[in-house]
């Protein structure tokens, strides 16, 4: 059975619309302009991200799925029986299937910011795995969370944070987010986390500039949300998708670049853009294994295992509190 639970009552009544407008305005009034990548994920954005995962250039998903499939037995062994699996940014809940079949946890909790997408995905999981107790929490996992009561089966609670989503945060924020997770977990609690590794510029840049233009559509969908949900007159087609490796910062940056000088209305303001001026919409940090272990150690996590795909494109780390 699927039931909706939440970590804080506020997440049920959270007026995402108001936060969204405030955040959108703050980003466009700043210099340089920015937007928060968490707003990519409305229903359409979650669909587009799922489509990105199927693009030949976007190696991350395939590499991670291969690790999870090849190492399912090892992973099940370190996690143990009767576990509670908490998936952050569960999206289409695709990667978790291999894991569920190997680990056979007692409880599963999907956490995602995209409400309808979350409910649909977890309902599918509940239908496909009748032996699993499935829960969904509509929440922004960047705020501190509590483990909901009633999910304790005597087994280990394990946070599953796949996809290198941790890469969306600066190292300082990533460390804070991991500290919050460590505080949420009891001693012995686990963190199974997918992290993209630093590699050649060409491979990285192609992954964020797929030939079919799905990543470009995903990036522009953010502006479609400004149009539809925030009443802005912004025209997404007047912005060009750009993604490149910033080697000094060890991250891929995504931008939306204004094709012309223009003024955009948002929340009663008129915001000017120069021709070629960009909105910085996302960072995807890439890590060496050692750097990521150090970051996790600072947040209170001890490294217990580390697995790679055969091409060593992607890392899956297992930590315990
Ligand atoms: C879901 C944040 C891991 O950064 O690779 C994919 C999002 N952005 N293509 C990533 C994304 C552009 C993705 N994460």
Q: Give the residue, by CA position, lying nearest to ligand 1 atom 5.
A: 284
Task: Please report the pLDDT score of residue 15 as a whole number.
Answer: 38
What are residue 88's DSSP bridge partners? 111
Cβ distance 123 to 105 under 8 Å? no
Tell me the pLDDT band of 143, cut-offs 50, 70 and 90.
confident
Task: Please report the pLDDT score of residue 113 as a whole number.
Answer: 82
Pocket lined around ligand 1, Cβ cut-off 6 Å: 52, 60, 163-165, 167-168, 208, 215, 282, 284
Give mean pLDDT, residues 277-295. 98
Q: Which atom of ligand 1 is nearest to the CA of 89?
A: 1
Task: Please report the pLDDT score of residue 5 as a whole number.
Answer: 45
Tell me the pLDDT band of 2, cut-offs 50, 70 and 90.
very low
Give mean pLDDT, residues 4-11. 37
Distance 11 CA to ligand 1 centre (A): 24
Tens-digit pLDDT profile for residues 152-179? 767 899 999 999 999 999 999 999 999 9
Task: Please report the pLDDT score of residue 150 as a whole number.
Answer: 74
**How many CB atoms are located within 10 Å of the residue 149 CB?**
7
Task: Please report the pLDDT score of residue 117 as a whole number.
Answer: 83
Give mean pLDDT, residues 249-272. 98
Distance 16 CA to ligand 1 centre (A): 21
Pocket test for ligand 1, best of 39, 64, 113, 284 (most atoms within 8 A of CB): 284
The pLDDT mean for the chain works out to 91
Angle, vertex CA 244, rays to CA 238 and CA 247, nearest 5 = 150
Task: Please report the pLDDT score of residue 91 as a whole number.
Answer: 78
- Closest by Cα among 2, 48, 89, 22 to 213: 48
- The more confidently predicted of residues 272 and 10 is 272
Distance 208 CA to ligand 1 centre (A): 8
Angle, vertex CA 168, rays to CA 162 and CA 170, nearest 5 = 125
Q: Which atom of ligand 1 is nearest to the CA of 37?
A: 2
pLDDT above 90 coverage of the chain, percent: 80
Is the per-residue pLDDT at 9 higher than 70?
A: no
Letter string b/e over residues 253-275, b meaning 16 or more CB atoms within 10 A of that residue's CB: bbbbebeeebebebeeeebebee
Task: Please report the pLDDT score of residue 11 as a whole number.
Answer: 34
Distance 60 CA to ligand 1 centre (A): 9
Tens-digit pLDDT profile for residues 100-114? 999 999 999 998 888
Is the per-residue pLDDT at 13 higher than 70?
A: no
Cα 131 to Cα 104: distance, rounded to the nearest angstrom: 9
Task: Please report the pLDDT score of residue 18 as a whole number.
Answer: 54
Task: Please report the pLDDT score of residue 1 as a whole number.
Answer: 31
Distance 165 CA to ligand 1 centre (A): 7
Task: Please report the pLDDT score of residue 276 as a whole number.
Answer: 98
CB neighbour list of residue 127: distance below 8 Å, 6 or more residues apart: none
Query: Could you give the count of Cα atoms lying within 13 Å of 223 in the half-sphere of its Cβ?
Result: 25
Taking the whole predicted model, whether its pTM rises above 0.90 is answered as: yes
Letter string b/e over residues 61-77, b meaning 16 or more CB atoms within 10 A of that residue's CB: bbbbbbbbeebeeebbe
Is the per-residue pLDDT at 73 higher than 80?
A: yes
Q: Give the least confident one: 103-107, 110-114, 186-190, 296-300.
A: 110-114
Distance (Å) of CA 122 to CA 9, 76, 98, 146, 151: 20, 21, 15, 20, 16
Cα 169 to Cα 100: distance, rounded to the nearest angstrom: 27
Task: Please report the pLDDT score of residue 16 as a whole number.
Answer: 42
Pocket test for ligand 1, best of 56, 217, 252, 282 (most atoms within 8 A of CB): 282
Distance 209 CA to ligand 1 centre (A): 12
User: What radius of gyration do the chain's Cα atoms show?
Assistant: 20
- Closest by Cα among 204, 170, 191 to 60: 204
Q: Which atom of ligand 1 is nearest to the CA of 282?
A: 8
Query: Could you give the count of Cα atoms lying within 13 Å of 241 in the half-sphere of its Cβ?
Result: 18
Please give the backbone phi and psi of residue 265, each rounded to the nearest 5 degrees, phi first: -90, 135
Pocket test for ligand 1, best of 58, 59, 168 (most atoms within 8 A of CB): 168
Q: Which two tokens stand for residue 69?
A: 């499939």
Task: Please report the pLDDT score of residue 137 as a whole number.
Answer: 86
Confirm whether the ipTM is greater than 0.95.
Answer: yes
């Amino acid at each position: 059975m699927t039931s909706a639970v939440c970590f804080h009552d506020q997440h049920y009544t959270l007026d995402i619309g108001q936060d969204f407008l405030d955040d959108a305005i703050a980003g466009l009034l700043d210099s340089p302009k920015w937007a928060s990548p968490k707003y990519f994920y409305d229903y359409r954005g979650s669909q587009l991200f799922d489509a990105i995962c199927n693009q030949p250039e976007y190696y991350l998903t395939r590499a991670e799925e291969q690790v999870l499939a090849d190492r399912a037995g090892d992973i099940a062994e370190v996690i143990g029986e009767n576990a509670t699996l908490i998936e952050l940014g569960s999206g289409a809940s695709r990667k978790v299937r291999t894991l569920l079949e190997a680990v056979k946890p007692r409880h599963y909790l999907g956490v995602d910011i995209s409400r309808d997408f979350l409910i649909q995905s977890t309902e599918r999981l509940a239908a496909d795995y009748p032996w699993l107790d499935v829960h969904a929490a509509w929440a922004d996992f960047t705020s501190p969370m509590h483990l909901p009561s009633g999910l304790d089966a005597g087994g280990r609670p394990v946070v599953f944070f796949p996809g290198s989503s941790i890469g969306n945060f600066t190292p300082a924020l990533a460390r804070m987010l991991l500290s919050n997770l460590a505080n949420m977990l009891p001693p012995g609690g686990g963190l199974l986390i997918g992290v993209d590794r630093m590699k050649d510029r060409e491979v990285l840049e192609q992954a964020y500039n797929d030939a079919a233009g799905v990543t470009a559509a995903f990036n522009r969908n953010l502006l479609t949300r400004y149009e539809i949900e925030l009443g802005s007159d912004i025209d997404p087609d007047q912005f060009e998708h750009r993604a490149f490796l910033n080697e000094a910062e060890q991250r891929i940056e995504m931008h939306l670049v204004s094709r012309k000088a223009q003024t955009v209305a948002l929340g009663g303001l008129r915001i000017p853009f120069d021709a070629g001026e960009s909105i910085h919409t996302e960072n995807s940090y890439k890590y060496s294994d050692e750097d990521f272990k150090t970051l996790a150690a600072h947040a209170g996590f001890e490294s217990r295992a580390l697995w790679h795909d055969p091409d060593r494109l992607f890392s899956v780390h297992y930590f315990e509190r």
